[in-house]
Amino acid sequence: MKLKIKDMNIATGGPIIVILNQDDAKVLDFHVGDRIGIQHNNKKTVAILNFAESEKAVPRGRIGCYEVVLDKLHAKNNSLVTISLEEKPKSISYIKKKLNNEKLSYNELYTIVDDIVKNRLSDIEMTYFVSACHLNAMQTEETINLTKAMINTGEVLKFKKGPIMDKHCVGGVAGNRTTMVIVPILAAAGVTMPKSSSRSITSPSGTADTMEVLAGVSFSVKEVRKIVNKVGACIVWGGAINLAPADDRIIRVEHPLSIDSNGQLLASILAKKASVSAGHVLVDIPLGKGAKIEHRKKALFLKNQFEVVGRSAGMNIKVIITDGTQPIGNGYGPLLEARDVLWVLRNDLKGPSDLRKKSVVMAGLLLEMAGKAKKGQGEKKALEILESGKAYKKMQEMIKAQGGKEILPENLKLAKYSFGVYSNESGKIIHIDNETISKIARDAGAPLDKAAGVYLYHHKNDKIMKGEILYTIYSNSTERLEFARGATKETKGIEAKH
Amino acid sequence: MKLKIKDMNIATGGPIIVILNQDDAKVLDFHVGDRIGIQHNNKKTVAILNFAESEKAVPRGRIGCYEVVLDKLHAKNNSLVTISLEEKPKSISYIKKKLNNEKLSYNELYTIVDDIVKNRLSDIEMTYFVSACHLNAMQTEETINLTKAMINTGEVLKFKKGPIMDKHCVGGVAGNRTTMVIVPILAAAGVTMPKSSSRSITSPSGTADTMEVLAGVSFSVKEVRKIVNKVGACIVWGGAINLAPADDRIIRVEHPLSIDSNGQLLASILAKKASVSAGHVLVDIPLGKGAKIEHRKKALFLKNQFEVVGRSAGMNIKVIITDGTQPIGNGYGPLLEARDVLWVLRNDLKGPSDLRKKSVVMAGLLLEMAGKAKKGQGEKKALEILESGKAYKKMQEMIKAQGGKEILPENLKLAKYSFGVYSNESGKIIHIDNETISKIARDAGAPLDKAAGVYLYHHKNDKIMKGEILYTIYSNSTERLEFARGATKETKGIEAKH
């Protein structure tokens, strides 16, 4: 059957779709979701069928195409194409298999991931895959195979010099910017650390957002390779380099219900580590009330999964369970966090001691894994590097390589407006709620307003007096500041005991 | 924030969507799937957010709207609207609850179904609901509540005269057109039978497709009420009257993976019966190799579910398990089936005896349920009505009321082309495969080509000789006929034993 193209003037990053008038589709006995082959001269591509209800959208005799299809076919508006009904991807039957609680093989998982990466599955079909993995929990062998499939459907970055180290934090703790202290320490010790980090999703800042206060973070794979080969490390945004690309597409259908299935999460994380050729990975699981993982049993299960799956993918994995009961550092929001990090790296007394301590412990473990320190000596060595100023110097090299320039923490420009939040009671602080502090910082405009956020003056077990300042909220917008101030009226996020 | 409307020139029947340029969405911290309030003068509506990647699709500062949104807002291209972030529907948290295998209450299920009917959920969100019900099988209480929710979110049709009867067949048997014989018998006995039927999905014909050979089947609720109040019965297409409308929307996301979850299917069927005020329902579960239900255990489970759920919804339900091992009647395809039906109603010897027998038994049971015959006497009474010609007369009244006119079965115009399929062997027929016969009839063009299909000359246990004709394939297209002929080379669908 021959049809004339209608250019829909739309570019989407998602599944590849074409649109037929529903009356044409009915005559052809085509259904929504069928795969349609479209041929134009000697070019052919396959797309997922959708219907238009009205003649206005797509008239009979025409086929609505998005930019990606036009490009593939070297076609334009009014080009004549031949269409045909094609088989649905095999991956659909594998997804159904998983829905019926059968185990998937490596080849089946590879086929699914490959089709996801190549935009061959519709949102509905991907959602069934995510549901199936969420509900019929993946067995360890499947998680291992999914990890390998994710690695093998993406690019793998190679570097000149080993060992190549990486770290990962499960998240949920505000201000937990250890990466920005650890990476310069490790790189100063001669270890390669090509760190890709995420932007914030629900927190006031992700490591990529915080690093962006000091330098660029969006680089191509080629640029990352150049930076790392030059200075030994980087801290860049993972979204720009697009390694293990299935992940972003899966997240898109997970977002509406905030689903994350253990197996899938684990596979995504480890595939990203493998795709930068990391040989050694340290994983931080913060545990406690208000953190992402609130129960020890779940933390231990996750620890074991990381170890088993990571090792199967050829990595040396160490997992630590850390205190996640309160925020780390004093600032929450990109700029306030970057200031804390620089103070720690400069050995300034204003640097938060909890951030310094945790970073040094973790850097020590990584130095031991890399063979740069004897067992039990890593922490001491990490502290030496930090105190010597070498880590600060390495950070400045990284900033320069990533297109930034040296700036002293004191010179970071705070937000125009601020508001102090004071205690209503005297007593000992027994809980600081990560979620509440994060929400207030976001209400103030973080992470989009880089300088917005919360600066906390106390930590757990501190004694406070009634009327004493708890924290300052910063924002460049008076409206946002007012919004955040309103939120503190419901709860300040800090609990004290008389 | 104020934006200018861009009319996307698209009407879709699905979820209500608006489109922002992704850079605008980023600044506003909006995500795909967020709910956006759109206000224009004193009109306001809420839609689901999607992104456009390019300025070409939706430029910054504009909001892309489909027709349904423009209508609700009384707005047009370039109208200025104010947008706001709205809370997501509560039903999303209930869907997540079900995904986590918790039981849903009536109120929670009602909220979900109501949001589905009102197009407030995205495809992804609905898919999670379908997955959750498929994977975490619904308990009987939930199925009862889902049924009630489906009834209460749609219209309920009332009729002047009771008792109101209905029937349902689980399907999977080619040619099983008992409805078209039963309804006229019942109506001739003074019973009200407002029958809504489906079109074919995977079979050569649905009852609505077959009835359409003789009369119109697409009527509004008002027209159906008029027809039934006049002649006591109808056989119309359920899709046009749109009772219990959640079903169609759910089917749309089930189709891509051919999912059907027991609980949901049951709820949909019974809600449709309740929505025509049916007080008595007879359910036919054909069982056997090649039918939809192949195992007795599953048939018995389904029987029990129909009885328990149907009674809870206030209906008198009777369920029979029938022979589903071979097609019923001789013709498969709309016209060939309509001809069989008319022959049976006219007591013509050419009427297939299996279709006649099954219809009379079922009509008898319905007469007993309706109190029109004593227990054990229904079949006799049904046969009397059929033999008296009253059922044929009633069918002609129905055809006329539905806009058709009397036509003798001999005068139905067969397809232009036909092809005979002959036996390669002599022996006794031990299996006639429903699926294969259906596929060949569809390959020939049924149900779109009304006259296309298969006419079978034998049934199970018949003795055949090598070279004897098995069936004739009909089609109005030589290409289609050739296609169907090709299919018979793989398998004829008939197995004989020497």
Q: Give me the residue label for tokens 């409206």.
A: A479
Amino acid letter at B135?
L
What is the average pLDDT value for chain A, to the nearest integer? 92
- Contact with chain B for residue A80, Cβ under 8 A: no
Q: How many CA atoms lie within 13 A of B422 on its CB side?
A: 5
For β-strands A331-332 and A316-323, DSSP reports them as: unpaired
pLDDT computed for residue B220 by the predictor: 92
pLDDT computed for residue A390 by the predictor: 98
User: Nearest CA to CA, how far is B171 from chain A (Å)?
Assistant: 21
pLDDT computed for residue B13 by the predictor: 65
pLDDT computed for residue B412 by the predictor: 96
pLDDT computed for residue A262 by the predictor: 81
Residue A441 has pLDDT above 70, yes or no: yes
- Angle of CA points B117, B122, B125, to nearest 5°: 100
Instruction: Give per-residue pLDDT as tens, A295-335.
Output: 999 999 999 999 999 999 999 999 999 999 999 999 999 99
Instruction: Give per-residue pLDDT as tens, A117-169.
Output: 998 999 899 999 999 998 888 889 999 999 999 999 988 899 988 899 999 99
- Residue B89: what are its φ and ψ, rounded to 5°? -60, 145
Instruction: Give per-residue pLDDT as tens, A472-495.
Output: 999 999 989 998 999 999 899 999
Candidates A33, A132, A253; nearest CB to B124:
A253
Mark yes or no for CB contact A12/B95 under 8 Å: no
Q: How far is CA B269 from CA B169, B244, B247, B305, B365, in A?
A: 10, 9, 9, 12, 20
> What residues in B contact A443, CB-CB < 8 Å?
none
Q: How many CA atoms lie within 13 A of B67 on its CB side?
A: 12
Q: Helix (H) and strand (E) counts for chain B?
A: 19, 18
User: Nearest CA to CA, how far is A180 from chain B (Å)?
Assistant: 25
CA distance B31 to B34: 6
Instruction: Give per-residue pLDDT as tens, A167-178.
Output: 999 988 999 999
- Contact with chain B for residue A55, Cβ under 8 A: no
Instruction: Give per-residue pLDDT as tens, A443-462.
Output: 999 998 999 999 999 999 99
CA distance B372 to A399: 90
- Residue A13: which pLDDT band, with cuts at 50, 70 and 90? low
Active site residues of A: 260
- Contact with chain B for residue A76, Cβ under 8 A: no
Residue A308, classed as helix, strand or coil, is helix
ipTM over 0.95? The verdict is: no
pTM above 0.90, yes or no: no
By C-alpha distance, the chain A residue nearest B66 is: A57
User: Best interface-test mutation with B: which of A135, A249, A261, A438 has the largest number of B CBs within 10 A?
Assistant: A135
User: Nearest CA to CA, how far is B46 from chain A (Å)?
Assistant: 16
Mark yes or no for CB contact A257/B9 under 8 Å: no
Mark yes or no for CB contact A135/B99 under 8 Å: yes
- Contact with chain A for residue B255, Cβ under 8 A: yes
- Residue A22: which pLDDT band, with cuts at 50, 70 and 90? confident
Q: Give me the residue label for tokens 């088989």.
A: A87
A285 DSSP assignment: E
User: Nearest CA to CA, how far is B102 from chain A (Å)?
Assistant: 12
**Cβ distance B227 to B219 under 8 Å?**
yes
Cα first-last separation, chain A: 80
Instruction: Give per-residue pLDDT as tens, A192-229.
Output: 999 999 888 778 999 999 999 999 999 999 999 999 99
Per-10-residue mean pLDDT of chain B, 498 residues long, equals 83 80 82 90 92 84 90 93 90 93 95 94 92 87 94 89 93 92 98 92 90 96 95 92 82 79 87 93 93 92 95 95 94 98 97 97 98 97 98 98 96 96 95 92 92 96 95 94 92 91
Mark yes or no for CB contact A99/B13 under 8 Å: no
User: With pLDDT > 70 as the criterion, what percentage of chain A qualifies?
Assistant: 99
Q: Which residues of A333-361 are buried (b: 16+ CB within 10 A; e: fewer)?
A: bbbbbbbbbbbbbbeeeebbebbbebbbb
- E strand residue ranges, A198-257: 233-237
Candidates B29, B56, B124; nearest CB to A448:
B29
Residue A26 has pLDDT above 80, yes or no: no
